[in-house]
Amino acid sequence: MWEDKDHQRLDKLRFDFTINVTEEYKNVSKHKRILAPVVHWNVVVYANNRKINQDEEEVFVIDEFFNSLAKQGEVPMYTCSCGNFECGGFYINVMYKKDIVIWKTEQRPVQKFTFSKINVLLFAEKLMKELKKLNNVLLENGLTPYFEIDEFKSKVQSYATYNHL
């Protein structure tokens, strides 16, 4: 596990993650409904305790965050809650320099954040733990897990060992 003690002057990346299980009636046929479990979950990402997305309809794309650990450039890290990026998503331009990560949003006003590499690694590790909990809750309720945690771990390890010049 990584520790981030020497980077107090840099921006801080963190998130809140919620999981809520309810039961809702689902139609099984034209005349039959059953009470079935439904798992609602949400992740909200913050930089310096301020939400990065300014609109509640903009949703953090977890897969794209983990993909950004393997590539620099424009990453479609937020999409509209309807799932259509063109409807309300935005890119984050991701750049790596030695032991820092720079995120620059395209939304107005443009925001630029500089995180320590360690902060991004800690964020990724904590996010994977929450996603594993979510997958377990889904399985416990007879639902299919959403995320490939092993794939995310591989990307995090690759990022951790890569020397960004």
Q: Which of 40, 56, 45 is nearest to 111 (CA)?
A: 45
pLDDT in tens, 96-136: 988 999 999 877 678 899 999 999 999 999 999 999 999 99
pLDDT in tens, 40-92: 999 999 999 999 887 788 899 999 999 999 889 999 999 988 888 888 888 99
User: How many residues in total does the chain contain?
Assistant: 165
Q: Give the integer Cα–Cα distance in Å for 20 and 23.
A: 10
Q: Is residue 87 part of a domain?
A: yes
pLDDT in tens, 13-46: 999 999 999 999 888 788 888 899 999 999 999 9
The pTM of the whole model exceeds 0.85: yes
pLDDT score for 2: 41
Q: Give the integer Cα–Cα distance in Å for 14 and 39.
A: 23
pLDDT score for 3: 46
Q: Is residue 84 part of a domain?
A: yes
Q: Is residue 72 part of a domain?
A: yes
Number of structural domains (the chain) is 1
Q: How confident is the model at residue 1 (pLDDT cuts 50, 70, 90)?
A: very low
pLDDT in tens, 140-159: 999 999 999 999 999 999 89
Domain of residue 89, residue span = 13-160
Q: Give the integer Cα–Cα distance in Å for 39 and 145.
A: 11
pLDDT score for 164: 62
